[in-house]
Every structure is written in structure tokens, then in C-alpha cells.
Amino acid sequence: MASGRLGKEQVSVSTRSPHIDAMRGLSIVLVLLHHFWIAYLINDTAVSQMSGWRFLHAVFRNGNYAVTMFFVISGYLITSNACKRWGGLAKVKASAFYRNRAARIFPCLLLLLAIVNGLAALKIGIFENHPEFGGPVSFWIVNLASLTFWMNVLMSHVGWVNYVLCVQWSLSIEEVFYLCFPILCVFLRKEGLLLVAWSVFIVLGPIWRATHQVSEYDELNAYLSCFDAIAFGCCAAVLSRHVQLPSRSRFPILSLVVIGMTWFYLSGSIAKTAVYGVTLMAFGTAILLVVQTQAGNAAPRGSAVLAPLRRCGQLSYELYLFHLVLLGIFRTTWLPEAATEQTKLLLLPAYFILSVTTAVLVSRYYSEPLNSRLRSETPNLHRLARAL
């Protein structure tokens, strides 16, 4: 997920874009639906007999494209917020950038590792390591891969080794990209050169996917198979500062892109369209971000209806990290192979409600307070160290 890692970037609540929150909310909802579908195979329930089942099946199966959207949104926010914070990409302060990323990423990540390691120690099977191929993998390795952002590399060697923790393949991709982000900004300095550097990733993305189709993990979860989506977001953030769309053209562009992305998402399986599909979904998401950002931060039409979606967007990092813990508990309590059609259909809304509730509690009482404290106290420690 994502997320797009699927999480809140360096922006205060007062400057949040409701449009971007809604997009991120849609993305995380699609990811949650995708994971439930994989776990419980609801195509064998009464829902599969409904006239609209083919539509629902298409919505459920292509959740990986929602992760592509997350990547683009993340790149856009990181770049645009860096411009606002430091007055330009050449002025990015690497130490502050890394400190803010760590303050946002590590508290929830450490909590997740503690939960999964604890449940595995209790011998709850689904939380233990179960490599698909290769030899046994210890929790030392899985924890290290989580904390140093090479879970996707580990998966390419042993498969989906841990039901909950392997979702961090997308977090690994994001954070490796962002390890290089301030270095590129300071070294290249000019926005034109940065656009060229990011465009290299955009070109390499489909080439990598086309040449690594033998392994699903290498095709969809490798660094170079996903860097292009983040790069699309970075480029969009820079270009939106210099290219102003006429106000009367925004709605037609928005409508055409939404229709095109929706049709593509529903029309074919990602297993058959990933080579160029990731590029198309990333490009469409980048256009949506530019158009919606230039429309301003006013609440979108249907604001009351979209409020739950925007709230999910605000909680996307917590939802991304912890939803599989709940789904793992569900799968342990209600075995998918033994669950009836009615049970599966009841579990889906329960899973959503509990996932959102957990995300709200983690955000309100743990991640946000700790995030704020880490960001505010570290500069004071630096000043104290200099004084001493």
C-alpha cells in the first residue's frame, strides 16, 4: 500500500488539500478491498450472482493500481511541500528532510513490528514467517528488511514471507527514493535538471516491467518498476508551479482523465496490463493533481458525501500499516475456506469499520503526538549540543 506508502506528508492540517485527501482516501479504500478479496475470495459468494458482479470484481482485483496512485500523490506532496518549506528545491535541508521523514515513518513502523513479532511469538500462525520459496527466513531478517527498506528485495528472493509485514514493499520503494531526493535536489539544484533526472525513471519504469515479467515480484515490486510513479508526482509538482491551466479548461480535462482512468482500471487485469498500465495510471494521477491543486483548496463538490473518503485519506498511513493485522486476526478466527457466504459479506464492513477505528486511535493517541514531539524537540537538542 503505498503506500503509497500510503501516509501523510509534511503539511499541516490547515493547508491540507481536500481534493488530494479524497484521492488518497479512494486509493486506500481500493487497497483494503483488494486485500479482503485476496483473503476471502468473495467471488464464490452470493454477490457473484449479482448483475453488477463483473464491475465489483474489476474494482477488487486491480488494487495494485491504487498503490501506483499513492506513489504519485506522495511524490507530488513531497516535492511541493519541499518548495514551500525551503523556498525552492535547491535549498532543501537534507538533515531536516530526513528528520521529518523519520518522525513520520518510524513510530508506526516500530509499533507494527512489535505487534507482529509479539503475535508470532504466541504461535499465531498467520503472523509467523512463511516464505513461498527458498529456505526459512528469521524475524531478524524480516525486521531488518522492514527498518532499512528492502522488503521488496527480500520478497523477490523468498516471496510473500510474512502476511502482514510484506505490505511494506511499497514503503521500501518510497523511502529509498526519498533517501536520494534531497541529495538530487542539492546536487542538481536546477529544476530543469531535476526534471531530466526524474524523467529517466519514468522512461526506465515500463522498460523494467517489460523485461522482468517472469517474476511478479520483480515486475511489480522492484525499485525501478515503481520509481516512475513517484517521479511522475515530483515532475507534476514542479510543472504545476510554472504551467497555469485556464480555469475553464480544468473541468473538461478533469472529466476526461477520470473517465479514462476509470475505464482502464475496470477494463483489464493488472496481470496483463502492468507494463504500460502503471505509466498510464501514474500519468493520469499526475494530471488530476495538477488540475485539482490549481483549482484551490476549496472543498470539492459533494463535500459531505466525500467526507468519509477524505478522512480515510488523512489516515492512510495508519490504515496501510495496520489493516492486515486485523485481516490476519479475521482469517485466524473465521477461516476463509470454512466461512459461509453470509459470513464473508458480514466480515467486509466489519473489517472496514475496525480498520478505520484502529487507524483513528493510533493516529490520535500515538503517531501524531509522537510525530509532533519528534519534529519539535530535535532542533532544540541540536541547539543544546551546539551550546555545549
Answer for the pair 160, 166: CB distance below 8 angstroms, yes or no.
yes
What mean pLDDT is reported for the chain? Answer: 88
Candidates 328, 376, 374, 342; CA nearest to 122 is 328
What is the reported pLDDT for 299? 56
Residue 14 pLDDT level (bands cut at 50, 70, 90): very low
Residue 271 pLDDT level (bands cut at 50, 70, 90): confident
CA 380 → CA 100, 144, 373, 377, 386, distances in Å? 14, 30, 11, 5, 10
Give the DSSP per-residue string, 62-112: THHHHHHHHHHHHHHHHHHHHHHHHSSGGG--HHHHHHHHHHHHHHHHHHH
Instruction: Count helices and strands (H / E) in the chain.
Output: 16, 0
What is the reported pLDDT for 50? 57
**CA gap 296, 211 in Å, rounded:** 41
Candidates 1, 313, 27; CA nearest to 171 is 1
Average pLDDT over residues 269-283: 92
**CA gap 311, 308 in Å, rounded:** 5
163: which 3 cell numbers? 502476511
- pLDDT tens digit string along 376-388? 755 444 443 333 3
What is the reported pLDDT for 43? 62
What is the reported pLDDT for 45? 57
- pLDDT tens digit string along 296-325? 666 555 567 788 999 999 999 999 999 999
- Of 37-51, 77-91, 237-251, the range with the lowest mean pLDDT is 37-51
**CA gap 73, 63 in Å, rounded:** 16
CA 249 → CA 101, 254, 262, 264, distances in Å? 36, 9, 20, 23
Is residue 4 over pLDDT 60?
Answer: no
CA 381 → CA 85, 106, 369, 375, 376, distances in Å? 21, 19, 18, 11, 9
Is residue 186 over pLDDT 50?
Answer: yes
Answer for the pair 179, 201: CB distance below 8 angstroms, yes or no.
no
What is the reported pLDDT for 284? 97
Answer for the pair 270, 64: CB distance below 8 angstroms, yes or no.
yes
Is residue 7 over pLDDT 50?
Answer: no
Residue with cell 504519485: 72
Burial 98-127 (b: 16+ CB within 10 A, else e): ebbbbbbbbbbbebbbeebeebbeeeeebb
What is the reported pLDDT for 293? 82
Is residue 52 over pLDDT 90?
Answer: no
Classify residue 160 as exposed, middle or buried by CB count within 10 Å of its CB (0-12, 13-18, 19+).
middle
Average pLDDT over residues 182-195: 95
Classify residue 300 as exposed, middle or buried by CB count within 10 Å of its CB (0-12, 13-18, 19+).
middle
What is the reported pLDDT for 53? 62
